[in-house]
Each structure stands twice: as C-alpha cells, then as structure tokens.
Amino acid sequence: MNGQQEQQERWLSRCLQIGFVLVLLLLWYLGTTYWGISGILLPNPVMVLHDLKEVLGSGEFLPDLEVTLFEVAVAFALSCVSGLALGYLISRSPYLIAVFEPLLSSVYSIPIILFLPLFVLFFGLGPWSKIALGATISFFPIVLNTIAGFRYVDRIFITAARSMGASNAQMFRYVLLPAALPVVLTGLRIGFTIALLAVLGSETIASFAGLGHRIAQLADAMETVRMFAYITFAVAIAAGLNALVSSLERQAKRR
C-alpha cells in the first residue's frame, strides 16, 4: 500500500475511532438528559463531571486514596523483595527450577482472590488483609519472570566470561544481572499492575477504607452520581500509575 493510501487509511481509522467514542458519549448524554433513563441507574455525564470537580476540589478523596496507595506500595514492596530473591535463588539450580517452576505456574493459574476471606479472617478488615492478598498475588509474576530471566541467559556469555577469568561476583554483576534485567523488569511491571488490581478488588469486596471500598459504599447508598465520579477517578489513578510504571520499565531497559 503506497504512502498516500496509507495516510488516507490512517485518517479514516482515526475518524471512525473518535466518531465511535463521540457517538457513545452523545447517546449517554441524550439518554440521561432527554430520553428519561433513570438518573439512579445512569447519571447525567454533566452532573458526573461537576461532582468529580467537587470531589477533587474538596480533597474528599484523599483519605481513601492514601489508604489504597499505601496498601499497593507495601504489597508491591513485599512481593518485589520476596519474588526477586526467591526467583534468583531458584534459577541457580536446574533441579530447583524443575521442581518449583511448574508448581508456581499452576498456583498462579487459579484465581488467588479466592483466598481473600482467609486473609480477612487472619488480618481483619483493615489494610493488612489487602496488603497480604496483593503481595501474594503479585509475588507470582515477579518470581516466575525472575526465574525465566536468569535461567535463559545465553550460555555463550557465561562461557566467554568464564574464559576471561570472571569470578562469581563478577559473573553476577556484569553478565547475569544485565542479561536477565529486561525480563525481570517486565515481571516487576506486571506485578505492580496486578498488585494494584488485587488491592482495588479486595477493597471493593471487604474493607472499610480505600478507593474500592468507597465505590462499593456509594453503590450501596445508591449515590450513583458520586459513584461514577469516583470510578472515573479510580480508573484515572490506575491508568496514571500503570503508565508511570511502564515508562520506568522502558527507561530502565534503555541503556
């Protein structure tokens, strides 16, 4: 396809995209303003926008945001440290890899959110049950990626370094670590995203604070306008954090 056709297509697809989204927004607006869709089910987008501005202006969101961010930060820190350490140790021995990698993969394949009630039993409804769950779930992509990263270092690099007399410490620092880094960083990014999702999810289900809890609370009270505002806010925060982490990952991968 030549340059001109390519440009045309790109322009056209952009239009379709934006058009599609605009149509949806328009329907939303018309539906709630003129066509009588109950405001309790689907609030008016203009009202939601107003409410969002109010929430942001008053700083009402702060305590909940703090709780959520705290839980995510601690959960991620825990899973990072344990995932990286265990991942590296396991990767050192083919025997350990053969034993643990399939085990860890299979556990990862069941929805670990199932264990939330157990964590609530242990830790109560406070932040620690969310932290425990978040740490547990995000542990898996980190440990699995760390194992893979160190395990698949091309043999030729190890052989070459050995032939030049590299010590074990030098081998780790100059060969294994940089070679494994891209895969490990990806694991960390995935781990963060999952920790965030796990925390939000467990807050929604069983908590007395945090953004997830707030949304659930507002739903219970049928305050749909404010709920929509908070949903928008939460999605924006999540998108922002994920974008931040992705860009950190990209930067770290660039030499």
Partner 1 sequence: MRLTVIAGLLAFWEAAARWWVDPQFLSPPSRVFLSLPSLFDTQGVPAALGIAFCEFAVGFAISAAIGLAVGLAIGLSRLSRRSFMPIILLLYATPQITVLPLFILYFGIGPASKIAFGVSHGIFPIIVTVVAGVQNIRPILIVAARSMGAKRWQIFRWVIFPHMIPSFFAGLRLGMAGVLLGVLLAELYVSTAGIGYFTQMFTESFDPTKLLGLISVLALMAIAFNVALRRAEIHFARWRQN
Partner 2 sequence: MTIGDVAIRIKDVSHQFGEPGDAQFVRVLQHASLDILRGELVCLIGPSGCGKSTLLNVIGGLIRPSSGTVEVGANLIHGPLPREIAFVFQENALFPWCTIIDNVRLGMVFQGVSKDQHEDRARTSLEAVGLSEFMRYYPEQLSGGMRQRAALARALSLETNILLMDEPFGALDEQTRMILGEDLSVLLARTAKTIVFVTHSLGEAVFLADRVAIFSARPGTIKATIKIDEPHPRKPGFVTTEKFAQLRNQLYGLLHDEIRKGVEFTAVMGPDS
Q: Does 100 bind partner 1 (CB under 8 A)?
A: yes
Question: Which tokens in the block code for residue 189?
Answer: 């990014």
Lookup result for tokens 């929509």: 228
One-letter identity of residue 112: I
129, 116 in Cβ contact below 8 A? yes
Cα separation of 107 and 103, whole Å? Answer: 6
Contact between 79 and 191 (Cβ < 8 Å):
yes
**What's CA 77's distance to the chain center, in Å?**
14
The answer to whether 250 contacts partner 1 (rule: CB under 8 A) is no
**Contact with partner 1 (CB under 8 A) among 116, 147, 188, 229:** 116
Chain centroid to Cα 206, Å, comes to 19
Q: Which is nearer to partner 2, 28 or 157 (CB)?
A: 157
Q: How far is the CB of 185 from partner 1 (least distance, A)?
A: 19
Quote the least distance from Cβ 124 to partner 1, whole Å: 10
Only one of the segments 62-70, 150-158, 228-236, 247-255 lies at the binding site for partner 1 (rule: CB under 8 A); that segment is 228-236
| Out of 158, 216, 248, 252, the residue judged to bind partner 1 by CB under 8 A | 216
Q: How far is the CB of 16 from partner 2 (least distance, A)?
A: 38
- Is 176 among the residues that bind partner 1 (CB under 8 A)? no
Residue 88 one-letter amino acid: Y
- Between 88 and 233, CB nearer to partner 2: 88
What contacts 24+ positions apart, CB below 8 Å, involve 41-44?
41/224, 42/224, 43/224, 43/225, 43/228, 44/225
Return the closest-CA partner of residue 82 out of 17, 159, 140.
Answer: 140
Site size toward partner 1 (CB under 8 A) is 51
CA atoms within 13 A on the CB side of 224: 9
Minimal distance in Å, beta carbon 96 to partner 1? 10
Binder to partner 1 among 120, 153, 188, 245 (CB under 8 A)? 120
169 binds partner 1 (CB under 8 A): no
Smallest distance from partner 1 to CB 70, Å: 18
172 binds, among partner 1, partner 2, none (CB under 5 to 8 A by kind): none
Output the CA–CA distances (angstroms, integers) from residue 249 to 86, 173, 187, 188, 252, in the order listed. 21, 19, 10, 8, 5
Residues contributing to the site for partner 1 (CB under 8 A)? 9-10, 12-14, 16-17, 20-21, 41, 98-100, 102-103, 106, 109-111, 113-118, 120-122, 196-197, 200-201, 204-206, 211-212, 215-216, 218-220, 222, 224, 227, 231, 234-235, 238-239, 242
